[in-house]
Structure 1
Amino acid sequence: MYQGLLHAHNGFRWLVLIALLFAVLLAVSGWASKRKWGRADNLSGLILVMIMDIQFLLGIVLYAFVSPITKAAFNDFGAAMKNSDLRFYAVEHILLMIIALALVHIGRAKSKKDVAPLKKYKASAIFYGVALILVLAAIPWDRALF
């Protein structure tokens, strides 16, 4: 079960990155060109939120229930904080990803709420862009399965 969930979580990462990159590029280009907010802009944010939510659910199941890494970390949390690998998975990875998820949700909400297209694009570009940076920083690239 652990290996299957881990592979799903690793594979889904690429969908998250593609959706984030696409949403950021669409928002930045719309902001720069001052174009009217369209269906594709709205859809990219919606798809991004859905993909991020699914990835978060996979990650939470791994984190809280099946990962031997987090189980080891929580058995002796003090020792885990001295071990960079255990600390990364027990604290840093999940914290950065939760913040990124919150930023994506805030960006989506702001893009739905604002009336002016430039405000929608600006909010989307900023919130999705920062989320992309956090996600890239929090991915364990040394353990990446391609």
Structure 2
Amino acid sequence: MYEILLFTHSWLRWVTLILFAVVLFKSLGGMNGGKEYLKKDKTLTTSLIGTLHLQLLIGLLLYFVYSPITTTAMDNMKIAMKVGAVRYWAVEHISIMIVAVIVAQIGSIRVKKTSVDKKKFKLQAIFFGIALILILSRIPWSESARLFRF
């Protein structure tokens, strides 16, 4: 089960990043071009938020149930905090990812409550831009084997 969840979490990252790119591109265009916020914009945003929530759910399962790194770290957090690679997975990765999902969710809620199209696009660009920066900062880019699991 661990390998399946890890594989899914790894590949779903790319779907999430592509959705972020599309939503941000459309948000910047809508914000600057005076476009109407259409049903397809709402669908893209909903898809992004759903994908983020699925990523979070899989990540939490890995973190609390299946990951040998985090389950070992939980046994002795004091020692885990002294080892950079263990601290990254036990604290830094999950903390920032949770914050990113919260930021994106708040943005999504604010967009739904706004009636002005230009403001919807602007709120999306701001909140999803911040969430994307947070996510990009915690993806293990230096570990190429983790980027594309087979």
**For the superposition of Structure 1 and Structure 2, which TM-score range results when normalised by the shorter chain?**
over 0.9
Q: Which residue of 1 aligns with 2:147?
A: 144
Instruction: After TM superposition, list the pairs within 5 Å mapping 1:126-141 onto structure 2.
Output: 126-141=126-141
In the superposition, the TM-score normalised over structure 1's length comes to 0.96
Post-superposition shift, 1:54? 0.8
The amino acid of 1:116's aligned partner reads V
Q: Which residue of 2 aligns with 1:116?
A: 116
Report SS of the residue matched to 2:93. Answer: helix
Give, in whole Å, the separation in 1 of the partners of 2:79 and 2:88.
Answer: 13
Post-superposition shift, 1:145? 2.1
User: Following superposition, which runs of at least 4 residues in structure 1 exceed 4 angstroms of deviation?
Assistant: none
Post-superposition shift, 1:71? 1.1
Q: Which residue of 1 aligns with 2:22?
A: 22
- Count residues with an aligned counterpart: 146
Q: Which residue of 2 aligns with 1:65?
A: 65
Instruction: After TM superposition, list the pairs within 5 Å mapping 1:1-146 onto structure 2.
Output: 1-141=1-141, 142=143, 143-145=146-148
Post-superposition shift, 1:114? 0.4
The amino acid of 2:87's aligned partner reads R
The amino acid of 1:48's aligned partner reads L
Give, in whole Å, the separation in 1 of the partners of 2:60 and 2:77.
Answer: 18
Give, in whole Å, the separation in 2 of the partners of 1:25 and 1:91.
Answer: 31
Give, in whole Å, the separation in 2 of the partners of 1:21 and 1:79.
Answer: 38
Give, in whole Å, the separation in 2 of the partners of 1:19 and 1:7.
Answer: 19
Report SS of the residue matched to 2:36. Answer: coil
Give, in whole Å, the separation in 2 of the partners of 1:36 and 1:5.
Answer: 39
In the superposition, the TM-score normalised over structure 2's length comes to 0.93
Give, in whole Å, the separation in 2 of the partners of 1:144 and 1:75.
Answer: 28
Post-superposition shift, 1:36? 1.3
Post-superposition shift, 1:76? 1.2
Post-superposition shift, 1:46? 0.5
Gaps of 5+ in 2: none
Post-superposition shift, 1:98? 0.5
The amino acid of 1:134's aligned partner reads L
Give, in whole Å, the separation in 2 of the partners of 1:116 and 1:33.
Answer: 14
Give, in whole Å, the separation in 2 of the partners of 1:68 and 1:74.
Answer: 10
